Amino acid sequence: MNPGGWILLSVSVSAVIALTVFCYARLLGGRRVAPPVHPPEA
Amino acid sequence: MSDTTDETSGGREQVTSWVGRLGIVLAVAGSAVGLGNFLRFPAQAAKHGGGAFMIPYLVAFLLLGLPIAWAEWAMGRHAGVRGAHGLPAILATVTGRPAMGYLGVLGVLVPLSVFTYYVLIEAWCLRYATLYLTGGPALGDDPAGAAKQTFVAISGSVGGVDRTQLVFWVVAIALNGWIVARGFDRGIQALSRWAMPLMAVLAVIVLARVLTLGTPDPSQPERSVLGGLGFLWNPNFSALTRFDTWLAAAGQVFFSLSVGFGVIAPYASHLRRDDDVVLSSLTASATNELFEVVFGGLITVTAAFIFLGATAMDAGSFGLGFLALPVVFHNLGATGAVIGFLWFTLLFLAALTSSLSMLQPVSAFVGESLGLSERRAAGIVVTVAAAGSGWVLFHSHDLAALEALDFWIGTVGVFLFAAIQVVIFSWVWGAERGLAEANHGAGLRLPGWWSWVLRYVSPGFLLVVLVGFCIQELPKHLTVLAGSVVMTRTLALVGVAALAVAWLVRRRGRGLRLEEAPT
């Protein structure tokens, strides 16, 4: 495997794992950043 | 869990509301994670620039997949709290125009049609899993030839399906029907809660075995783990100058995330008014990418390349899964049957969680149109789906019916329905209003510029993909269609189904409740 392959593999796999961990940590933490204010109606 | 009572359609019907946000995330992720993650993604990447494929893939993920998924989640929740759970009612409720419900006919036809052939492939996976449970298929001295014979016998692709496979087909349909009839809470959600983690465990075990294969044949040192990873991931940046690379990446993201399949909005319709949709949608998408990029990108092609070299890719996605990998497991010796069993169990579970997501929205639509309970609606839908699947099975020769449905409904129909949904979200409902709806109760807030992406970039990107796809693919498929009686009759049956769905939309339209939900 050449260096370009290593870089793309490492970056892709790391980014996906990091995103997944971030999402589940935040989801299971239950924190909301936006209060449940009802959106404007047309 | 809590139950809410939906009094639309004249009768009282229990609609389960998912309190646990994890439940719907895993269910949507289960819908998205399917055979395409493990077979189609690596085949597409290997064909279109290797590691360089990840660049257009990421662009499509950010500008096409994620925004449309958010739009579907937001529309689903908005309509769901107003009592709409089938796609025609969801579109009618979101727009406030009952006539818009007719655009949702496609959103019912797509999952129903795709189910009819997807469940056949699901039954193949179940059959392979049981074959490996009992030691695996006997591939003898000509593993490649024997693997092909096994696949031909199971798929019936040269005419005639064996009786054993019929049993597996019936089992797969019955299992789907039974789970859908149990309802959201005790059916799909309960299954997703244990099936998704189990799939991750199975994938990690298979991945660990593949990455420790080393160089099995010292006389061919290039056929090693690093050689296999390099075959898939070494970038060929010249592929980025070709339009079909960008088209393939957009198509892969699109189908992988289940956007345009008519699945996400009906699922999200079971959220409560203050439940998050932005973070939930992102989490489901991230889960899908975990299975696609990490497991799909490291297992399948790597294993196939080690034992078969570059020729493993010659037979495409199906060939990779059902022809190449059995040869790999044959070469693994004593552990081959175990790894083969784990692999095909993983594929079966991935297919099952996806096929369920195709039946459930149709069942919800039939239930609310006819005022039936979940169990009765599921019974009707499974009967219709089984008849359609029987048609596909009966016409297994050359997989003609399967390919007609896969292209005209499972591909063209999905593109069109995604376009319908994104236009309704951004231009009829209004991107700013839709974004405000998405941010309501959000666990992760979308900045305002996403409304610009949803209004211009995603529809424009989708239009380019759709036009490019039509120019590239339609002429040859029209020629094939014109020369095939089976394909023509198959699509005629879909037309009849469309009329039936439209009649149900009309019936449901009378009972639509378009006023605002109680706060």
Do B258 and B65 meet the contact criterion of CB atoms below 8 Å apart? no
* DSSP bridge pairs for B3: B16
**Which of B170, B161, B245 has its CA nearest to residue B468?**
B245
Residues on A contacting B at a C-beta cutoff of 8 Å: 1-2, 4-9, 12-13, 16-17, 19-20, 22-24, 26-28, 30-42
| Candidates A4, A8, A26; nearest CB to B443 | A26
Contact across the interface for A1 and B440, Cβ inside 8 Å? no
Encoded amino acid at A33, one letter = V
Q: Which residues contact B319 (CB under 8 A, 6 or more apart)?
A: B312, B313
Contact across the interface for A8 and B279, Cβ inside 8 Å? no
A25 burial (CB, 10 Å; 0-12 / 13-18 / 19+) is: exposed
The three-state secondary structure class of B373 is: coil
Encoded amino acid at B294, one letter = V
Residue B456 parent element (H or E)? none
Q: What is the pLDDT of residue A32?
A: 59
Q: What is the pLDDT of residue B18?
A: 40
Q: At what angle do helices B243-256 and B458-482 cross, to 10 degrees?
A: 100
**Which of B364, B298, B261, B185 has its CA nearest to residue B32?**
B261
> For residue B249, what are its two tokens?
């990446």
| Candidates B233, B283, B444; nearest CB to A1 | B233
Q: How many whole angstroms separate alpha carbon B307 and alpha carbon B304? A: 6
Q: Which residue has the tokens 């009972």?
A: B511
For residue B445, give Cα distances in angstroms to B59, B69, B282.
21, 15, 11
**Contact residues on chain B for A23, CB-CB shorter than 8 A:** 279, 282-283, 286-287
Contact across the interface for A16 and B290, Cβ inside 8 Å? yes
Do B335 and B69 meet the contact criterion of CB atoms below 8 Å apart? no
Q: At what angle do helices B431-439 and B66-80 cross, to 10 degrees?
A: 70
Q: What is the full DSSP assignment across A12-30? A: HHHHHHHHHHHHHHHHHHT
Residue B153 near chain A (CB below 8 Å): no
Farthest CA pair distance, chain A: 56
**Contact residues on chain A for B287, CB-CB shorter than 8 A:** 20, 23
What backbone torsions phi and psi does residue B182 show, to the nearest 5 degrees? -75, -10
Give residue-wise pLDDT tens across range A9-41. Answer: 999 999 999 999 999 999 888 665 555 555 555
| Candidates B52, B294, B437; nearest CB to A39 | B437
Q: What is the pLDDT of residue B513?
A: 54
Residue B281 near chain A (CB below 8 Å): no
Residue-wise pLDDT tens for chain B (519 aa)?
333 334 343 333 334 434 457 888 999 999 999 999 999 899 989 989 999 999 999 999 999 999 999 999 999 999 999 989 999 999 999 999 988 999 999 999 999 999 999 999 999 999 999 999 998 888 888 888 888 888 888 877 655 667 888 899 999 999 999 999 998 878 898 999 999 999 999 999 999 999 999 998 889 888 999 999 999 999 999 999 988 899 889 889 988 998 988 899 999 998 888 889 999 999 999 999 999 999 999 999 999 999 888 887 777 788 888 988 999 999 888 899 999 999 999 999 999 999 999 999 999 999 989 989 889 999 999 999 999 999 998 887 777 888 888 889 888 898 899 999 999 999 999 999 999 999 998 888 999 999 999 999 999 999 998 888 888 888 988 999 998 999 999 999 999 999 999 999 988 775 555 544 444
Interface test with A, best of B24, B25, B66, B283 (most A CBs within 10 A): B283
Counting Cα atoms < 13 Å in the Cβ hemisphere of B330 gives 20
> For residue A23, what are its two tokens?
């999402």
> For residue B368, what are its two tokens?
């609310």
User: Which residue in chain B has the smallest CA separation from A31?
Assistant: B443
Contact across the interface for B294 and A34, Cβ inside 8 Å? no
User: Which residue in chain A has the smallest CA separation from B52?
Assistant: A8
**Which of B261, B32, B69 has its CA nearest to residue B41?**
B32
> For residue B514, what are its two tokens?
């378009």
**Contact residues on chain B for A24, CB-CB shorter than 8 A:** 283
> For residue B9, what are its two tokens?
């359609």
